[in-house]
Structure 1
């Protein structure tokens, strides 16, 4: 795994408080072998009454395509839910694909929406698979890992509605996802159509360090599910985390990326990054408070430890990187020129925050406020693009074009549609910043 850092300013004034923005670039290794660890995918499918017809039929077609891409050694499970949960495909190796396909095709719509019943039942299925040894797959004892649990799993939730039965509290759902992720179970959510609760599904994805995707129709849902399977099959790193350790008196003022983070000791914060696929790139942006430095010269203000578990060998790795600034006299520091790439990223992430506020406004039906925040998003992106050229500017131009389309849709489409589109875009460009652009199911 590659890790490098760019500072907004690499010099600070002697005996003066300052702030330093740090832009981190991560790049996962590229898989050079066709061998991969068996994957575990647990699908949680909403079959409530609102899914009847094209939505459920489209989801089933996507799941059929998913099964056909997996290997017999991969683990797959399917739980469906309405007012209750039902295990349609018990989680386990895909040794009988034809039987699994028949069970998927036989799913029929039901009643109300109790997502908690489906999610908890799915987590129980994953836990059961984790506890089973691999003797059935490696009868000669050539077991590359003790249990499937060590390789982790992904829970994919597909839902089109607001929860109207069972657990409804967003924070409790997020806590469930966080607890599952602590056991290497990633939670990804696919919001289908325009009736689902984007706040809830987004919170589940954040807590579970997974993705949150919006699909407006069956075709978009199929493409989104295929994208998730791509990531699952190309996964090379599990449970990546970044621990930032600060020098005395230095503090993190802000983590611009909306990622799970917690203090893990005095002057140390750990940020959860989730799993990474082959060759995947990510960007993180931090803002540090640097106190008045009493001595001139190079001073280390923080150190970074990037940790992950490599697949398929399940080897734990750590990469460390010091963060230092040069303390210079005040008149010299006054002549410094901020790094344009870092400054552009700051403006980009401030634009994402405005986009998130736009989504929340559209979700509550406040169109004027939502459009105002989208206008603010565009202005910030204009400023970010003006600082760059080449590939960096091209990426920002694509984001600006997306935001302009969102602004146009805000005058044509229902606010529920725009809310979901902007929320999914925020997730991609803030929480998973740097990951290759996914197909936009909401356009």
Structure 2
């Protein structure tokens, strides 16, 4: 696993409050090319409420049939559907009889209300049972829903607590919001706490593509339970994570950030801000240590990579004019643009098109500033994001608040929570 850090400034003033921004970059290993892929476990939790009638349910069923055809007989697959309550359509287990599984998928039909929690909890139980029986450690749950929850657990934070607990057992939860009527706050919170992905699929074709992308990642997974623990010194009085990832204080001066699973050669970026108080010692001082921990597949070997973060403390009159590293500074502006995009999504979700447009304009300003200082390689990627924000701004006048809230939330997830991630080819 490649793991590196860069600071916007590495010189701070003696006995004066200051701050530094740290950009972390990871790249997962390729994995042994000749080794047989370890069996994977995938549990689908599919909304079959009445709103899924017609093209949505038929498109989802066809996507799941294609998914089953791609998996190996040794892979664990299960399907739970939910409307007023949960139904086990395909008991989770190895795919030893694909034709029978496909026939059961074809038999799914729409029902009544939307009790997502019953479907998720039943699917979680199925996955845990099957992985224990097969000896597979961990797995993935993909929730597919097109509506707002109107039965069972309706509080997003409560559902997020459930997926967070599953994540601690190496079960990743991803969500796919289907159409224009789903609850992006609920599905996004579930995916965040579950260390998975949140994707917006406008129509059956987009849903098929999104499901295929999830399977691509699952089948090329090379690292599980990836986390970064920040061990910071007493001089660090403030720690901010720009990326909206699960982070927990696990001890004095220790914060653990969960990244979930990584597929082969996946790249990720994280941004931290450290506020330091006046340091008495002159010279190079270590202010933090970063421990990257992960389980490498398929042999399930645990690894730890440590990276010290140090600054050079100099007298104030020797500080001079500090010029921040352009790569780190442009990434900071990029993430400020993502924060504005999230606020746009919340405004659109509440029906306020004007406020949403204003937040997108703010996002565009930050991206323009980032392009102006970024090195050539980084600037090209930021221009792509800038074009995407421009496109969303233009669409907001025509597409309506409901559509825009979902599009902007999906984009925020990719560019903030999963920053640097590329879809597997």
Q: TM-score range by the shorter chain?
A: over 0.9
User: What residue number does 2:368 align with?
Assistant: 382
Q: Using the alignment, how far apart are the partners of 1:311 and 1:319 within structure 2? A: 16
1:437, distance to aligned residue in structure 2 (A): 5.7
1:438, distance to aligned residue in structure 2 (A): 8.5
Higher mean alpha-carbon deviation, 356-365 vs 247-256, is at: 247-256
Matched, 1:93 2:106: no
User: What residue number does 1:394 align with?
Assistant: 380
1:253, distance to aligned residue in structure 2 (A): 3.0
Q: Using the alignment, how far apart are the partners of 2:402 and 2:229 within structure 1? A: 37
Q: Using the alignment, how far apart are the partners of 2:312 and 2:235 within structure 1? A: 17
- After superposition, what is the alpha-carbon deviation per residue over 1:93-139, rounded to whole angstroms, capped at 9, x for unaligned? 0000111111111111111111011001001101111321x4xxxxx
TM-score normalised by length of structure 2: 0.98
1:17, distance to aligned residue in structure 2 (A): 1.1
Q: Using the alignment, how far apart are the partners of 1:190 and 1:90 within structure 2? A: 21
Kept in 2, the 8 Å contact 1:19–1:290? The answer is: yes
Structure 2 residue matching 1:412: 3-state secondary structure? helix
Matched, 1:429 2:415: yes
1:335, distance to aligned residue in structure 2 (A): 2.2
Match of 2:193 among 207, 226, 230: 207
User: What residue number does 2:58 align with?
Assistant: 57
Match of 2:139 among 153, 161, 168: 153
Give 1:72-91 correspondences, 5 Å limit.
Answer: 72-91=73-92
TM-score normalised by length of structure 1: 0.94
Higher mean alpha-carbon deviation, 27-36 vs 271-280, is at: 27-36
1:280, distance to aligned residue in structure 2 (A): 0.5
User: What residue number does 2:224 align with?
Assistant: 238
Matched, 1:331 2:320: no
User: What residue number does 1:349 align with?
Assistant: 335
Kept in 1, the 8 Å contact 2:216–2:424? The answer is: no
Q: Using the alignment, how far apart are the partners of 1:407 and 1:346 within structure 2? A: 22
Moved over 4 A (4+): none
User: What residue number does 1:116 align with?
Assistant: 117
Matched, 1:182 2:168: yes
Match of 1:358 among 344, 358, 361: 344
In structure 2, stretches of 5+ residues that fail to align are none
Structure 1 residue matching 2:399: 3-state secondary structure? coil
Q: Using the alignment, how far apart are the partners of 2:237 and 2:317 within structure 1? A: 25
User: What residue number does 2:9 align with?
Assistant: 9
User: What residue number does 2:398 align with?
Assistant: 412
Match of 1:229 among 194, 215, 222: 215
Q: Using the alignment, how far apart are the partners of 2:102 and 2:376 within structure 1? A: 47
1:85, distance to aligned residue in structure 2 (A): 0.7
User: What residue number does 1:320 align with?
Assistant: 306
User: What residue number does 1:216 align with?
Assistant: 202
User: What residue number does 1:173 align with?
Assistant: 159
User: What residue number does 1:140 align with?
Assistant: none
Kept in 1, the 8 Å contact 2:118–2:152? The answer is: yes
Q: How many residues are aligned here?
A: 424
Kept in 2, the 8 Å contact 1:252–1:286? The answer is: no
Q: Using the alignment, how far apart are the partners of 2:8 and 2:266 within structure 1? A: 24
Q: Using the alignment, how far apart are the partners of 2:320 and 2:380 within structure 1? A: 32
Q: Using the alignment, how far apart are the partners of 2:283 and 2:36 within structure 1? A: 49
Q: Using the alignment, how far apart are the partners of 1:219 and 1:251 within structure 2? A: 49
Aligned CA RMSD, in angstroms, stands at 1.1
Q: Using the alignment, how far apart are the partners of 1:30 and 1:374 within structure 2? A: 37
Structure 2 residue matching 1:423: 3-state secondary structure? helix
Match of 2:289 among 303, 310, 315: 303
In structure 1, stretches of 5+ residues that fail to align are 135-146
Matched, 1:126 2:127: yes
1:275, distance to aligned residue in structure 2 (A): 0.3
